[in-house]
Amino acid sequence: MNQHTQNHSEEHTHEEECCTAEKQTSESWITQNSEYISAGISLVLLLTGIALDYFLKDQMHLYFRLGFYLIAYLPVGWPVWKNAVTTTLKGDIFNEFVLMGIATLGAFFVGEYPEGVTVMLFYAIGELFQGAAVRKAKSSIKALLDQRPDEVTILQDGKTITKKAEAVTIGEIIQLRPGDKLALDGELLSQQASFNTAALTGESKPDTKQKGETVLAGMINQNQLCEVKVTSAFADSKLSKILNLVQDATTKKAPTELFIRKFARIYTPIVFFLAVAIIILPYFFVGSYVFNDWLYRALIFLVISCPCALVISIPLGYFGGIGAGSRNGILFKGSSYLDLMATVRCVVMDKTGTLTKGVFKVQEVKITEGFEQKEVLAMLALVESKSSHPVAKAIADYVGNDTIKYQLGNTEEIAGHGLKGTINSKEILAGNFRMMDKFTISYDAKLKEIPLTIVAIAVEKKFAGYITIADEIKEDAQQAIEALTKLGIETVMLSGDKTAVVNHVASQLKITKAYGDLLPEDKVTKVQEIKNTTSPVAFIGDGVNDAPVIALSDIGIAMGGLGSDATIETADIVIQNDMPSKIATAIQIGKATKRIVMQNISLAFGVKVVVLILGAGGIATMWEAVFADVGVALLAILNAVRIQKKKV
């Protein structure tokens, strides 16, 4: 008996839990769709009221008719009046909520009940369209926010444990199964692994990484179990920093957007007082003055003049541009940079890591007679170990572990030249030929003509030889330059590499102008010279030494994959997948955004001016006013949404 009672009680409890869950789900759905439900109720009641007016006009009592349309009005009118009161209490009296509220209330006053409900209903539908469009624009940015898993699998003493991503420390090893997303930046320990980087970079092509290469948070392991050594904390990963920048992007408004907002604040009170004037002034000049007629004209004027189409569609256009950029692996840090990219006339590019892969390999070793090759290379690799430059890594990979018996003393990096160090009490210099000139080391001047990157070496003030290193041009670099040329944009390449190498790359890519042998400060000077003759200028780079030039340029663009944190933070635009072809894509998105914004401004002003004149003259009715306000707003919103569908 007790067991039966217990089972019955458990069943009853389970049923209650299910009912509660269903009730909560139902309530959640109603809450999420309350605006659509309200608009739907108003629409049904409005259509019913119009039908009753048509079939039972003579039988309907005035108060019943007024009450019925008020009930139809409340679901869409109440939220607007609530906002109108809230904004008025904050000191913002002249806004679209107040205008729509007064206009619809006035329509009820003159007995145009269906028109009063219709205006408010269409306004509510316009707001729903706006909300849907904004959500669509946010979806691509939201996709980025979903790229960091909360938990990771850590290898510890040969066993796997699950750990919160925020709690993982640098140096720990993550085990990544096929299909898993990487939560933190790290170094691949497995021999090879293929990653899907589509959500992070906008590229669908899988990216195969080799042992020792950098893998970034947000990448998805595709085919086999792999291990990754964590190199940065959760909050310091490239993706985390990019997400923070994305979230701040919409706070930086474009000049057009700022102007429209300021204009709306001045424009709205002007049209409000003009509407009052339409009611009052005819009393003194029109013989057969009828108050209700002129009030109706003023209400039409108010509805037409509501700046919704501008205030809604223009920010939405820019927001759509930022969203379109995110889907293409391009982060615009604000809508103002969309405007600038639309007008850019010159693109200045760094060479290494921007147009070339920055993956160097030693091609040739030439050691001067009288020096032992093994010893010179070992000392070179040891002094280069203090540099993070890709050339240093290439040398270390080539030499291997033959540096054990050598002891490194003081090392000094000379910006734009190379490294100076002491090894086993011997002074060693490693760098470009400017380095050799600086320390008056004699060498064959013909070496400068070799169209490859050269690291010259001097030991104890004597030229000990050189090694040549080649860097590979990125697959889409040619496509990038061609696309920019088609857009009528001048291309310039700046590099600290020697002029022979720079000219060789420039001739291959057909770049307009190229300058080599530049120190970081020389790049700044050169960009300033270009700005003096051509503006606006965009500069794209990836290294720490590019940060000052990026800050100086009209538009600074950083390579987000391999780029330094300082460069990414300084830049106005970040290309997440390091593809130079995305520069042209960014320009195209900027141009498309500006074109759509200008179309919306022309459409809104054009239609409003025409209907305002007709309304003031008594020709336009409330239906034309609804089209001039809500109809134009809807058209402008639909036009703004097009940028989100742009394929580039």
CA-based nearest residue to 152, from 161, 143, 144, 142: 161
Q: CA–CA separation, 21 vs 6, rounded Å?
A: 22
Q: CA–CA separation, 531 vs 434, rounded Å?
A: 27
- Nearby residues of 83 by Cβ (< 8 Å), 6 or more positions away: 97
In SS3 terms, 100-165 reads as HHHHHHHHHHCCCHHHHHHHHHHHHHHHHHHHHHHHHHHHHHHHHHCCCCCEEEEEECCEEEEEEH
Q: CA–CA separation, 176 vs 153, rounded Å?
A: 7
Residue type, 204: S
Q: CA–CA separation, 258 vs 252, rounded Å?
A: 10
84: tokens are 């109108």
Hey, what's the torsion of the CAs at 576, 580, 583, 584, to 10 degrees?
Answer: -130
Under 8 Å between Cβ of 624 and 615: yes
Q: CA–CA separation, 431 vs 416, rounded Å?
A: 9
CA–CA distances in Å: residue 151 to residues 116, 189, 198: 54, 20, 21
Containing H/E element for 13? helix 2-32
Q: What angle do CA 209, 211, 212 make, to 5 degrees?
A: 100
One DSSP character per residue, 511-540 reads -SEEE-S--HHHHHHHHHHHHHHS-SEEEE
For 199, the 3-state DSSP assignment is: helix
User: What's the distance, CA 220 to chain centroid?
Assistant: 21
Hey, what's the torsion of the CAs at 175, 179, 183, 184, to 10 degrees?
Answer: 60
- Nearby residues of 54 by Cβ (< 8 Å), 6 or more positions away: none
One DSSP character per residue, 397-408 reads HHH-STTTT--E
Q: What angle do CA 97, 593, 338 make, to 5 degrees?
A: 100
For 177, the 3-state DSSP assignment is: coil
Containing H/E element for 493? strand 490-494
Catalytic pick among 207, 350, 476, 572: 350
Is-catalytic flag, 146? no
**Which letter does DSSP use for residue 628 in this model?**
I
Which residues are part of the catalytic machinery? 350
